[in-house]
Structure 1
Amino acid sequence: MAETRANRPAPYDSGSRPGPVAETPAGPGADVPRGPVAGTDLHLELSGGGSLRNRLMNALREAVRSGRLAPGTRLPPYRGLAHDLGIARNTVAAAYAELVEEGWLTARRGSGTQVAPRAAVRPARAHGPRRRTTRRVLHDLMPTSPDAAAFPRTAWLASARRAVVAAPNDAFGVGDPRGRPELREALAEYLARARGVRAEPDRIVVCSGFAHGLRLLGGLLKGPVAVESYGLAFHRGILEETGRSTVPLPVDPHGARVGDLPGTGAEAVLLTPAHQFPTGGPLHPERRAAVVDWARASGGLVVEDDYDGEFRYDRQPVGAVQGLDPDRVVYIGSAGKSLSPALRTGWMVLPGWLVDDVVAAKGAREMWAGVVDQLTLADFVAHGSYDRHLRHMRRRYRGRRDLLVRTLAARAPHIGVSGIAAGLHAVLELPEGTEEAALRAARRQGLALEGLGAYRHPDSAMPPRDGLVIGYGTPPEHAFAAALEALCLALPAPP
């Protein structure tokens, strides 16, 4: 060869000076960096036989070939990788240089050494039946999330800064499973003022959301749990995973028929009294009093899911059932609908006799809700930012609801709309036997939504209702009109 490997130009190495690239074994007197070295971390195992340089080259080739190092990934400088692997810098430089020549890597001054751009390897087509193509979702009308674009980033960031600066040092130690006292104090004031909840901070336990709270309670109960005949299968599944069977309570325009509770043998009942999910409407005042009377007489427990009680449009605020008897009602709320499900922050307002059991079930250390988010939410509530955000979003969601109602009145007047006085969803009442066809038509239009049938308890004795559950919180503002246009095209024609 006219040019020896030792004389080849080495790739540029940011942070280290190019030097001779002849291989040098690691050992006493070898050019091995000492002390901590700044740079990019890269895990490599130099297994197999051969020289250190060849083993390093094989490890790098395999990392690139397998996709673990993607095209454009910047590799550590010679000195940093040599220090991490315990080998000579010149050995790394030589390996880099050869892999540059082979086309595995590229080296440019100022950019360091990177994985070369390579054509993506297409995975081999699996033998067997072809998978059905999944239709692309163009419009999300699922009633599961608020408008992500409306998250109050500026106000949240201001609260985060204030909260972190003001936090005591113990806030950054092992977390208290009850939750940060700052958040529990802020929630006690807010829930009393805005939702009619009667609670002291010592009776509030922070959790990661309603599902987490329900799982904690399910593990403490012993008998069956009564649930609304229309509700989330996910919640029924959580109870069943904890060993609790569920008994359906019929639902009508006044909410769950809680008068049926004595005959169910249930130890607890799960309700959405502020806005029944998914059929809509609050629990009638007489039934609110009746369910508390049942709990007192039977020693039972009412679990109140206040999932979107803050959003109301055409009615006076409906207070929490918990306010009627704090010793028989567990109130569970979260920031999932009011702010964002990404926060994973919720709260349980518990009867005093249940607090220690729930804390013990949660565990000795906080493993669920991040402390910084708790501190931030506490500041967000205490400074009035939460109230301002809710008022803003109430106006915004009401505008969407009104547009939904107007559009249906103009384009599909034969379709009834219910459950629209509060919350983030509406129910479109369909002619009998048309729900499945409407769902298929919706999928063809690129709509993500569900029918009432998806929420019906499998043991319910009530005749099934045909309808579509339409969430109007998720679509971004600019896309909502197009989503409604697609929805109208999916609805059944008038009889």
Structure 2
Amino acid sequence: MADSQTNFAWATLLDIAAPDGRRRLHDRLAHALRTAIRTGRLTLGAAVPPSRALAEDLGCSRWVVTQAYGQLVAEGYLVARVGSATRVSWTPHTAPPRSSAPRTPVRAPIRYDLAPGLPDLRAFPRRRWADAVRTVTGSAVHYDLGLPDPAGHPVLRTTLAQYLQRSRGADAPVHCVSVCAGVTDGLVRTCRALHAEGITDVALEEPGWGRLRDAASSAGLRVHAVPADHDGLRVEELVRTPARAVVVGAAHQFPTGTVLSPARRAELVRWARSVDGFVIEDDYDAEFRYDHHPVAVLQGMDPGRVFLLGSVSKTLSPALGLGWLLAPAALTQALRAANPVAAAPPVLDQLALATFIDRGWYDAHLRAARRRFRSRRDLLVHTLATHLPHSRVSGTAAGLHLLLHLPDGTDARAAVQAATAAGLRLADLDTYRTAPSPQRALVLGYGNINDTEIPPAVALLTEALRSTAPHPRADTGR
């Protein structure tokens, strides 16, 4: 048995009470430990407390504990070695009960990840992030460690306001910036505020990210799907809905990858003014633009009508849980009043992000990431063209995913299932629709995959498509 020095079980709850009060205390302790081992609460290799420490916790003599330990050593439940902790040496060997339920098919482990939604997690700037955390942990004053401001720490809010102004062209007064846990959290807060202002209907792009629909619904709003085409959201379709708010990915629509055209931008702002409504701009991955200059946020065209949501989930990691919400000045107080129990992310994490941005590390990380993703995108597009010449690619100008349009008659869902069974993760475009469409396409993400993995991943995709392709009927000559 390996002698782990870290697997301590000193906080295990032991019931040593005796209903009849006649069993001796060391027998009751041995029984409690034996039961904890048999039920798996004390696992193989776990170290039990030193006899003196356990005696102090239980309020008994050390002799009681040594007697109980000695009994369990004799029975084979514990093992004691000189100079080492006393450890559990027994584990249950009972077989799991048989079930009459049908067995779930065993799938191959995921070897390649072409699903959208993740950045390059291997490239997370661990050293510099650790430096930022270390810096703020040492420099934070005592009142930074108290109850956090629900709107976010003033230092990060100031840093974010400056960043959004210089990099995204936003109109961002510090008092209008709130720190949140990400885009979904920001959308829930926004929809709650709009609901409190009397808005009951919101429109979302079709296709679109399902979690945004769920977030809007959870805030009490009725959701209406509005189609998007090659110029972005179709505002003429939006006008036909009762919505007074709309969520739009102006810089890079998910999942089609289209950019809201200048004409549609102006039309959308006019719509918001005409219905006394609001635009909620999802700026989820606009930092990654490869073939053209970055597109400024729509929020700058009318700060009084546009909310701006963003996060570091696509640039650093979703595990950080850090995002921002820029609200119209007239609704900032209403936003916070409608979310009285909303909690900002941990303060030290907020201060670490502020330091990470202020020292230029965030900009440097984005520059390196853009170069890496541009090269990876080019490799993926070239490999797809080689293996699947009859399929068309779109949505490549920005972001971390693209669309692979499949030939007519292709069963995209069956292809996804076949690819998953072979160890390749990807997504069908219909996954992001409220209703199936005749258009057959796959959404392929290239953020969280190595360059060297792209050729074998595309080879698996090609085989999955081939295995699910319809077979032409044989000519019988009749």
- Shared fold (TM-score greater than 0.5)? yes
1:431 aligns with 2:404: no
The more displaced of 306-315 and 354-363 is 354-363
Equivalence for 1:445: 422
Please point out which of 382, 388, 394 is paired with 2:370: 394
Note the alpha carbon deviations across 1:357-399, whole angstroms, 9 max, x for none: 22223336x6341111100000000000000001111111111
1:48 aligns with 2:15: no
Equivalence for 2:464: 490
> Helix, strand or coil for the counterpart of 1:279?
coil
Q: How far apart are 1:59 and its partner, in Å?
A: 1.3
Please point out which of 265, 282, 293 is paired with 1:305: 282
Aligned-residue CA RMSD (Å): 2.0
Please point out which of 224, 233, 237 is paired with 1:256: 233
Q: Which amino acid aligns with 2:389?
A: P
Question: C-alpha distance in 1, partners of 2:288/2:88?
Answer: 52
> Helix, strand or coil for the counterpart of 1:263?
coil
> Helix, strand or coil for the counterpart of 2:98?
coil
Q: How far apart are 1:269 and its partner, in Å?
A: 0.2
Question: C-alpha distance in 2, partners of 1:478/1:167?
Answer: 43
Kept in 2, the 8 Å contact 1:226–1:270? The answer is yes
> Helix, strand or coil for the counterpart of 1:219?
helix
Note the alpha carbon deviations across 1:96-145, whole angstroms, 9 max, x for none: 11101111111112221111153654321223333333443222211121
Structure 1 residues 107 and 477: CA distance shift in structure 2, 3 A: farther
Please point out which of 67, 79, 84 is paired with 2:40: 67
Matches within 5 A, 1:142-161: 142-161=115-134
Please point out which of 426, 429, 449 is paired with 1:475: 449
Question: C-alpha distance in 2, partners of 1:359/1:119?
Answer: 53
Note the alpha carbon deviations across 1:407-458, whole angstroms, 9 max, x for none: 0111111111110100000110012331123223312321111111111123
Question: C-alpha distance in 1, partners of 2:452/2:81?
Answer: 44
1:379 aligns with 2:349: no
Larger Rg: 1
Kept in 2, the 8 Å contact 1:42–1:76? The answer is no
> Helix, strand or coil for the counterpart of 1:108?
coil
Report how many residues are paired.
455
Q: How far apart are 1:166 and its partner, in Å?
A: 2.4
Question: C-alpha distance in 1, partners of 2:113/2:14?
Answer: 43
Kept in 1, the 8 Å contact 2:252–2:398? The answer is yes
Equivalence for 2:302: 325
> Helix, strand or coil for the counterpart of 1:426?
strand
> Helix, strand or coil for the counterpart of 2:458?
helix
Structure 1 residues 121 and 389: CA distance shift in structure 2, 3 A: farther
Question: C-alpha distance in 2, partners of 1:99/1:254?
Answer: 74
Equivalence for 1:361: 338
Question: C-alpha distance in 2, partners of 1:148/1:94?
Answer: 52
Equivalence for 1:19: none
Please point out which of 416, 422, 430 is paired with 2:392: 416
Q: How far apart are 1:277 and its partner, in Å?
A: 0.3
Question: C-alpha distance in 2, partners of 1:325/1:121?
Answer: 67
1:181 aligns with 2:158: no
Equivalence for 2:209: 232
Q: How far apart are 1:39 and its partner, in Å?
A: 9.7
Q: Which amino acid aligns with 1:66?
A: T
Equivalence for 2:87: 114
Question: C-alpha distance in 1, partners of 2:258/2:218?
Answer: 29
Q: How far apart are 1:485 and its partner, in Å?
A: 2.6
Question: C-alpha distance in 1, partners of 2:185/2:94?
Answer: 42
Equivalence for 1:169: 142
Question: C-alpha distance in 1, partners of 2:36/2:454?
Answer: 45
Equivalence for 1:27: none
Question: C-alpha distance in 1, partners of 2:375/2:87?
Answer: 51
Equivalence for 1:245: 222
Kept in 1, the 8 Å contact 2:311–2:324? The answer is yes
Q: How far apart are 1:68 and its partner, in Å?
A: 1.4
Question: C-alpha distance in 2, partners of 1:341/1:230?
Answer: 22
Q: Which amino acid aligns with 2:308?
A: Y
Equivalence for 1:351: 328
Q: Which amino acid aligns with 1:422?
A: A
Note the alpha carbon deviations across 1:60-87, whole angstroms, 9 max, x for none: 1121111111111111101111111212
The more displaced of 281-290 and 109-118 is 109-118
Provide the identity percentage: 44
Question: C-alpha distance in 2, partners of 1:41/1:109?
Answer: 23
> Helix, strand or coil for the counterpart of 2:396?
coil
TM-score scaled by structure 2? 0.91
Kept in 2, the 8 Å contact 1:177–1:362? The answer is no
Structure 1 residues 368 and 184: CA distance shift in structure 2, 3 A: closer
Equivalence for 1:293: 270
Equivalence for 2:432: 455
> Helix, strand or coil for the counterpart of 1:179?
coil
Equivalence for 2:475: none
Structure 1 residues 117 and 401: CA distance shift in structure 2, 3 A: farther
1:272 aligns with 2:249: yes
Kept in 2, the 8 Å contact 1:39–1:77? The answer is no
The more displaced of 485-494 and 130-139 is 485-494
1:407 aligns with 2:383: yes
Q: Which amino acid aligns with 1:438?
A: A
Q: How far apart are 1:217 and its partner, in Å?
A: 1.8
Matches within 5 A, 1:79-94: 79-94=52-67
Question: C-alpha distance in 2, partners of 1:349/1:175?
Answer: 19
Note the alpha carbon deviations across 1:150-191, whole angstroms, 9 max, x for none: 110111111112222222221100010010111111111111
> Helix, strand or coil for the counterpart of 2:239?
helix
Question: C-alpha distance in 1, partners of 2:9/2:420?
Answer: 49
Structure 1 residues 476 and 368: CA distance shift in structure 2, 3 A: farther
TM-score scaled by structure 1? 0.88
> Helix, strand or coil for the counterpart of 1:112?
coil
Q: Which amino acid aligns with 2:225?
A: P
